[in-house]
Amino acid sequence: MADRALVRPEAAEEGLFSREYRTATSSSAAVMFLTGFAALAVVPILPMAARDLDGVSLFPLVAGCFVAASLLGGVLGGHWADRSGARRPLAAGMALTVVTLVVSATSTSIWQLAGGRFLDGLAAGMVAVSINTAIGQAYPERLRPRVLALMSACWIIPSLAGPPVAGLVSEWWSWRAVFFGLAALTLLPALVLVVALRSPSWQGAAAPSDDRPPRPPLLLASMVSLGAALGQYGVSGWDVHHLWCAAAGLGLLACAPRLLPAGTWRAARGLPTTVLLRGLASGTYFTIEAFVPLMLISERHLAAVVIGLAFTGSAVLWAAASWVQGRLLEDRPRHRLVAVGALVMTAAVALAVAGTLPGVPALTAASAMLVAAVGMGLLAPSLSVLSLSHSPPGRQGYASSAMQTNQNLGQITVLALSSAVLNACLGIGASELAGYGAAFGLLFVPTLLIVLFAGRARSTGAGVAAVARRSEPSSTGSGSK
């Protein structure tokens, strides 16, 4: 493909401290900081918003809309950036982010909040892919590790401060103030970044028409995203209308295997199993992250600030476990670390179930979030390393895309199944806590399947340990997991 670097070749040798690099790097860092802050700050207040809008039964739809839309946003943003440079999709994504935060802040119904979260997921998918593409197009290879490290570091403070600050603001003022505040804070760096990218040296020339990448399956990705959203709505009730929506969503999700490597659903050895395990692990973690706070707020009446602290602790423990697997356990076989991480997540599921029992302290369920984060910190980076080792030459991007796609599908599917179990229990007259206990109990299935199939993801390549040493710790949150 023709060279479409966003920065002049001679400017690439000036390093990160030229004026153009300083402006773009600082603006991108500010965008990533606020993206992380928004992603981690919004999640703890969503249960409170759903309760105030009389939409607790539709909470799975609100939580799942972001993930469903980010799948489409990633495909759209990546294709747009490949064909015409990262400037336009990044600017469009940032503008949409500000608008969607205002839409969510002014919600008068659970449906408006769900719509805002869907558009926010679309924007988040575009922004994440566009920033990574911009780094690849704008910076020389020797500078990319430093820039990527800076982008990762931008999530540290949000993971520590975002959830408790959002909890305090929602307790003392309103959950709407969190959305409005994030919109105001995001507006200025978004404008600065758009202006910086309008500089002539950052204009990405479009590739010749005969050298452009083939069109991605945007229609297919749209169908899968719509199916995911319909499925989340369908499992929120048990009348005929909801069942029809669930059936339609399931039919559209049947197209999802075409976005994944052949053999994913039958756990074929190598990359297909690695992709499958990423979906199972992400689905389990996302469901714990969504349902534990909802239960603690709606049934145990725990303060939102405590939920925020649980999210903060999860972020810290995820990062710590990632550091351990990348430094202290770097010589261990990756598939074994995947199995160990899944066993830790099985313990987290047990804590979540125990937290629904009468007489058991509410903080028992909250601790499930912390333990699950440790498991994901061991498991997720190891799966990323395995996916790279299984990638055909020159197809690392395809492997990364498949991992991201099934991560989103796993989150949507496992959350939908758990929601269906919860609503089925409520439909037969069980108590709310009993329903949550059954929903959490379902999560034993994916964690034990990961333990069972981890060996099928084993890598025989010699470069796995070297790749592991270069792997970066993962960060938590609805848009980054």
Q: Report pTM.
A: 0.67
CATH of 260-481, one of 1.10.357.10, 1.10.443.10, 2.60.120.200, 1.20.1250.20: 1.20.1250.20
Residue 141 has pLDDT above 60, yes or no: no
Q: Which tops the pLDDT comparison, 1 or 136? A: 136
Tokens of 225: 């995203």
Domain 1-202 has CATH 1.20.1250.20: yes
pLDDT digits (tens, 9 = 90+) for 317-335: 887 887 788 777 777 888 8
Instruction: Single out the residue of 339, 333, 272, 332 nearest to residue 459, CA to CA.
Output: 333
Q: Where are the alpha helices (DSSP H) in 53-109?
A: 59-84, 87-105
Residue 242 has pLDDT above 80, yes or no: no
Percent of residues, the chain, with pLDDT higher than 70? 72
Residue 64 has pLDDT above 90, yes or no: no
Q: Where are the alpha helices (DSSP H) in 139-270?
A: 144-153, 156-172, 175-197, 218-234, 240-253
Tokens of 150: 């800076």
Q: What is the pLDDT of residue 445?
A: 95
Report domain extents, the chain: 1-202, 260-481
Least confident of 187-191, 258-262, 413-417: 187-191
- Across the range 201-206, mean pLDDT stands at 46
Q: How far apart are CA 138 and CA 78, in angstroms?
A: 15
- pLDDT-derived band at 136, boundaries 50, 70, 90: low
Residue 207 has pLDDT above 80, yes or no: no
Instruction: Single out the residue of 431, 452, 318 nearest to residue 372, CA to CA.
Output: 318
Q: Are 333 and 386 in contact (CB under 8 A)?
A: no
Taking the alpha carbons at both ends of the chain, their separation in whole angstroms is: 31
Dihedral angle sign, alpha carbons of residues 388, 397, 6, 152: negative
pLDDT digits (tens, 9 = 90+) for 384-412: 778 767 866 545 445 666 777 788 788 87
Instruction: Single out the residue of 159, 161, 168, 167 nearest to residue 314, CA to CA.
Output: 159
Q: Are 419 and 426 in contact (CB under 8 A)?
A: no
DSSP H or E stretch at residue 470: helix 464-470
Q: What is the pLDDT of residue 13?
A: 42
Q: What is the pLDDT of residue 146?
A: 58
At residue 335's C-alpha, the angle toward residues 287 and 383, to 5°, is 50
CB 238: neighbour CB atoms within 10 A? Answer: 15
Tokens of 333: 């076989």
Q: What is the pLDDT of residue 216?
A: 54
Backbone angles phi, psi at 52, to 5 degrees: -65, -30
Domains 1-202 and 260-481 belong to one CATH topology: yes
Residue indicated by tokens 């999860």: 314
Q: Which tops the pLDDT comparison, 458 or 450? A: 450
Instruction: Give the contacts of 401 (CB within 8 A, at least 6 positions apart).
Output: 74, 78
Q: What is the pLDDT of residue 354?
A: 94
Instruction: Single out the residue of 286, 265, 274 nearest to residue 454, CA to CA.
Output: 274
Residue indicated by tokens 């758009």: 194
Q: What is the largest CA-CA distance in the chain?
A: 70
Computed over every residue of the chain, the mean pLDDT equals 75
Instruction: Single out the residue of 119, 135, 38 nearest to residue 72, CA to CA.
Output: 119
